[in-house]
Amino acid sequence: MSYFNDKNSAEIVNARMGAETDPRLREIMTSLVTHLHAFAREVNLTQDEWDHAIGFLTRTGQMCSDERQEFILLSDVLGFSMLVDAINNRRPDGATENTVFGPFHVANAPIRTMGDNICLDGKGESCLFEGRVLNLDDNPIEGACLDVWADNADGFYDVQQPGIQPKWNNRGRFITGADGAYSFRGIKPVSYPIPDDGPVGKMLGHLGRHPYRPAHIHYLVTAPGYQKLVTHTFVGDDEYLESDAVFGVKRSLIAPYERTEGGDTVWHSRFDFVLAPV
Ligand code: BEZ
Ligand code: FE
């Protein structure tokens, strides 16, 4: 047997794994160690640089709490969340595409009636959202649940401003009827920075990157017999559309926003969600 050196390092570490190791864990850890060691060799990582990285990861962990998940944010800004999402949500043509879930979803939002206004703080430019939930054959899906969440006109989610915004501001769940249609009132989405007061925000600064996400509204669409859809729709003329801090934009998710004449909202946006079968 040979001892550890800078060339055989990954092999030596991987050979140490026990014979009883779960096969999937073996596959993942073998590949992780191989790529991690290759990375350090490729960039000739210095001791100072590795110490700095350990400090960064430590601060990232220390920033995490029940309200703040800095590691997910790190995964998001590295494009890793979107890569894992893309690998796990390859869908047939015609099905609506997934995008990043983000940290601001809250389970069990109030069930609302079609047409309801989810904007509870009275801020922003009003917008009527409507469309249908369809299957791949263009038939309506009855009983689909459309769980919606968005930031307010100041660019904050209600959970970022407890006591300032009303609870459940810009959130709600809508259940489709036989026609698969949905409609609700909200506001035309505005762009906002992801939380950038921690180590991830600092890292973005060092990399010459801004922390903004283009204006969007989130949807989690579920229906029995169909794949769960986690997505957003984006506003087409947003200045950050091509530089989303978390790489969540897909062309097919850019929705039309039209100014309305004489209606009770300023904007109108129509978008159909197409679910793939399980
Ligand atoms: C969001 O769109 O809510 C979001 C996604 C990733 C990181 C931060 C926020
Ligand atoms: Fe968001």
Task: Give distance in angstroms: CA of 77 to centre of ligand 1.
Answer: 10
**Residue 61 forms part of a structural domain:** no
Closest C-alpha to ligand 1, atom 5: 102
Q: Is ligand 1 within 6 A of the CB of residue 80?
A: no
**Residue 250 forms part of a structural domain:** yes
Distance CA 244, CA 168 (A): 25
List 129's β-bridge partners, or say none.
184, 269
Q: Which residues of 65-99 are buried (b: 16+ CB within 10 A; e: fewer)?
A: eeeebbebbbbbbeeebbeebeeebeeeeebbbbb
Task: Give distance in angstroms: CA of 102 to centre of ligand 1.
Answer: 4
**Residue 229 forms part of a structural domain:** yes
Distance CA 90, CA 276 (A): 10
Do 79 and 39 share a domain, yes or no? no
Task: Give distance in angstroms: CA of 208 to centre of ligand 1.
Answer: 19
Do 213 and 147 share a domain, yes or no? yes
Q: Could you identify the atom of ligand 1 that is nearest to the CA of residue 73?
A: 7
Distance CA 217, CA 146 (A): 12
Sign of CA dihedral 97, 271, 247, 100: negative
CB 142 within 8 A of CB 112: no
What are the percentages of helix, strand and coil residues in the chain, rounded to 5? 25, 20, 50
Do 97 and 14 share a domain, yes or no? no
Strands 267-270 and 126-134: parallel
Per-residue pLDDT of the chain (278 residues; tens, 9 = 90+): 689 999 999 999 999 999 999 999 999 999 999 999 999 999 999 999 999 999 999 999 999 998 889 999 999 999 999 999 999 999 999 999 999 999 999 999 999 999 999 999 999 999 999 999 999 999 999 999 999 999 999 999 999 999 999 999 999 999 999 999 999 999 999 999 999 999 999 999 999 999 999 999 999 999 999 999 999 999 999 999 999 999 999 999 999 999 998 888 899 999 999 999 99
Distance CA 23, CA 233 (A): 39
**Residue 52 forms part of a structural domain:** no
Do 162 and 40 share a domain, yes or no? no
CA-nearest of 113, 133, 161 to 223 is: 133
Tell whether pTM > 0.85.
Answer: yes
Distance CA 228, CA 45 (A): 42
Q: Which domain holds residue 35?
A: 1-44
Q: Which two tokens stand for residue 192?
A: 């906002």
CB 270 within 8 A of CB 134: no
Task: Give distance in angstroms: CA of 76 to centre of ligand 1.
Answer: 8
Distance CA 70, CA 59 (A): 9
Residue with tokens 């995490």: 64
Closest C-alpha to ligand 1, atom 6: 102
**Residue 64 forms part of a structural domain:** no
Do 182 and 121 share a domain, yes or no? yes
Distance CA 102, CA 247 (A): 12
Q: Could you identify the atom of ligand 1 that is nearest to the CA of residue 232?
A: 2
Q: Could you identify the atom of ligand 1 that is nearest to the CA of residue 246?
A: 6
**Residue 54 forms part of a structural domain:** no
CB 233 within 8 A of CB 216: yes
Side chain identity at residue 11, one-letter code? E
Do 237 and 170 share a domain, yes or no? yes
Do 36 and 101 share a domain, yes or no? no
In the 8-state DSSP scheme, what is residue 203? H
Q: Which residues of 240-255 are buried (b: 16+ CB within 10 A; e: fewer)?
A: bbeebbbbbbbeebbb
Q: Could you identify the atom of ligand 1 that is nearest to the CA of residue 216?
A: 2
Closest C-alpha to ligand 1, atom 7: 102
Q: Could you identify the atom of ligand 1 that is nearest to the CA of residue 195?
A: 8
CATH code of the domain covering residue 169: 2.60.130.10
**Residue 57 forms part of a structural domain:** no
Do 126 and 252 share a domain, yes or no? yes
Q: Is ligand 1 within 6 A of the CB of residue 100?
A: yes
Closest C-alpha to ligand 1, atom 9: 102
Do 135 and 261 share a domain, yes or no? yes
**Residue 63 forms part of a structural domain:** no
Do 3 and 133 share a domain, yes or no? no
Do 99 and 158 share a domain, yes or no? yes
Do 29 and 86 share a domain, yes or no? no
How many structural domains are present in the chain? 2
